[in-house]
Structure formats: structure tokens, C-alpha cells
Amino acid sequence: MERTKYGKRFQGKVAIVTASTLGIGFSIAERLGLEGASVVISSRKQKNVDEAAGKLRAKGIEVLAVVCHVSNAQQRKNLIDKTLQKYGKIDVVVSNAAVHPSVDPILQTQESILDKLWEINVKSTILLLKDAAPHLKKGSSVVLIASLVAYNPPPTMAMYGVTKTAVLGLTKALASEMGPNTRVNCVVPGIVPTHFVALYTSNDATREELERKALLGRLGTTEDMAAVTAFLASDDASYITGENLVVSGGMPSRL
Ligand code: NAP
């Protein structure tokens, strides 16, 4: 068992994290697990799910690993069913999966790509929560993952940004619908060098330009995002719901 500098806010809790075999989702699962949660990790590929589960177990974390492409109805249902079979309850759901398949301007984006963006970035969260909701009891918590570009979608991330704007709205609407038993909040990451944004961060000049935009002079880490997700999911945030929390090192966002 790895000694941890963290508390145990999730002892006895069960947390589902989607798209959690790599990047931000993996770090969220790791953080919740180190704080005592039984974590249910998932992604599209069995190999990735198995590898990630091995890494988490090596840190003493209790893990259930399930293949779940978030836009596959059967796999979403299986994710919930397997969680309930193994742990009997769900305390936390973190909906983290997203795609950014095109850098085209919105009006030049193919219809199939528009559908995919809506399907993965917005609709699958709704449908997963529809399956999870009957099992979420008083004190449960949902965390969605948006993006800083939601506030002002830039040219190469325009339609992706708009789907993340929808996630901000979804947070408000679901907080109203799922309260008072379930809190719903949203983490709004700035730039975190993962595969997802390699197009931007693998180029030294672009990366330095992005770093300069952050008041803290650096890009985010997956652990930065995990820490804030864990806060929002925990009882430390028990009087917070319907909020979008920007975690961007001070990059320009909104008032
Ligand atoms: P990432 O490092 O590319 O992680 C991708 C993870 O998602 C992998 O585990 C992958 O595993 C899984 N995945 C991909 N498509 C999936 C699907 N359809 N269903 C289930 N799992 C899927 O991405 P990330 O940077 O951590 O991004 C995570 C979230 O943060 C996203 O919502 C993204 O929009 C948001 N975000 C990221 C940044 C950033 O700078 N990185 C900034 C703002 C917001 P498989 O290949 O096995 O499926």
C-alpha cells in the first residue's frame, strides 16, 4: 500500500470515472482511490483498461475495470450494472470522456463530425447519468469536465468548444434536476499536456505561448485537475452545486 499525503475523504465510497485509463481521467481515478474510494475505471480498449487497473492496484487502490465506450448504450449499462454487482452502490460519477476530432471552422465541419461531438461530449454524459441516477442517494456527487475554451471557443477548437459550453449549461440544469440529493459541478481545465492537446503542446513555441497566458507561468497537470475534481466530489464541497470551477493557472476565462 502506497503511503499517501492525501486524506481519506472517500473511504467507503464508490466512484465511477469515465475515460479513465490515461490523462486527466486516470489521475482523477488515482486521486479518488488514494483517498479511499473504490474506483470503477473504464475506456474503449480492454488492454488500456487492464494496464490502468494494474497501475492503480499497485498503489493499493481497490479497482473495478470495465470496457466502456461512452457512446455505446450496452457498455454504459454494463458499467453501472457491474459497479452495483461488485460494490452495491454509486457515490460519485465523474463524466470525463470527450473528443476533439476536427480543427475545421464550424460551418465547414462535416455533419458526421458534428454528430460525434454532440454524441460523445454531451449526450453520452446525459445517458450515463440517466442510468446512474436511480442509484444515486443523498450526498452523492457528479462532476463533469468542460474546458476553458467553453467560454470563448477559439478557431481551431470551435465546435468542440461549443459542446463544452453545453457542458456548462448541463451542469446548471442537472444540478437543479438532481438536487437536493445529488450535487452536480463541473471542472473547467485550462491546458493540460496530454494526448488530447498534443497538437498544441508538442510544439515548443506554441507551448511557451500558452504558458505565458497562464498567470502562474505553467500549464496544468493531470494531478491539478484531479485535486479539484476530488474537492468538488467530496463532502468538503457539500454546499456547492451547479458551479463551474476554472482550473487554468489564471488563463483568461470569465469574471
Ligand atoms: P486523454 O489524455 O486523451 O485521455 C483519453 C482517455 O479517454 C483515455 O483513457 C482513452 O482510452 C479514453 N477515451 C477516449 N475516447 C473514449 C470514449 N469514446 N469512451 C470512453 N473512453 C474514451 O484526454 P484528457 O486530456 O485527459 O481529456 C480528458 C477530459 O478533459 C476531456 O473531457 C477533455 O475535453 C477535457 N479537457 C482536457 C484539456 C487538456 O488540455 N488536456 C483541457 C480542457 C478540457 P481508450 O483509448 O482506451 O478509449
* Per-residue pLDDT tens over the stretch 142-171: 999 999 999 999 999 999 999 999 999 999
Q: Taking the domain 9-192+222-246, which CATH number applies?
A: 3.40.50.720
In short, whether 23's Cβ falls inside 6 Å of ligand 1 is yes
Q: Given this model, what pLDDT does residue 48 score?
A: 98
Residue for grid cell 515548443 = 204
pLDDT in tens, 67-107: 999 999 999 999 999 999 999 999 999 999 999 999 999 99
Question: Rounded distance, CA 125 to CA 231, Å?
Answer: 20
The answer to whether residue 195 scores a pLDDT higher than 90 is: yes
Instruction: Tell me the three state secondary structure of residue 4.
Output: coil
- φ/ψ of residue 251, rounded to 5: -65, 150
Q: Given this model, what pLDDT does residue 3 score?
A: 53
What mean pLDDT value characterizes the chain? 97
Reference 33, options 14, 64, 65, 61; nearest CA is: 61
pTM (2 d.p.): 0.98
**Spans of all domains in the chain:** 9-192+222-246
The answer to whether residue 176 scores a pLDDT higher than 60 is: yes
pLDDT in tens, 21-67: 999 999 999 999 999 999 999 999 999 999 999 999 999 999 999 99
The answer to whether residue 1 scores a pLDDT higher than 60 is: no
Question: Rounded distance, CA 212 to CA 209, Å?
Answer: 5
Question: Rounded distance, CA 99 to CA 222, Å?
Answer: 17
One of 6, 160, 200, 239 is an active-site residue; which one? 160
Atom of ligand 1 nearest to the CA of 21: 9
In short, whether 125's Cβ falls inside 6 Å of ligand 1 is no
Give the rounded distance of the alpha carbon of 79 from its chain centre.
16
Q: Given this model, what pLDDT does residue 88 score?
A: 98
The CB density around residue 153, as the number of other CB atoms within 10 Å, is 18
Q: Given this model, what pLDDT does residue 149 score?
A: 98
pLDDT in tens, 113-122: 999 999 999 9
In short, whether 95's Cβ falls inside 6 Å of ligand 1 is no
Atom of ligand 1 nearest to the CA of 191: 40
Rg (CA), the chain: 17
Question: Rounded distance, CA 10 to CA 16, Å?
Answer: 12
pLDDT band with cut points at 50, 70 and 90 for residue 207: very high
From residue 64, alpha-carbon distances to 29, 76, 156, 206 in Å are 11, 14, 37, 38
- φ/ψ of residue 222, rounded to 5: -65, -30
User: Contacts from 112-117 at CB under 8 Å and sequence distance 24+?
Assistant: 113/159, 114/159, 117/159, 117/160, 117/163
Give residue 6's identity as a one-letter amino acid code. Y
Instruction: Tell me the three state secondary structure of residue 143.
Output: strand
Atom of ligand 1 nearest to the CA of 189: 43
Please say if 239 is a catalytic residue: no
In short, whether 158's Cβ falls inside 6 Å of ligand 1 is no
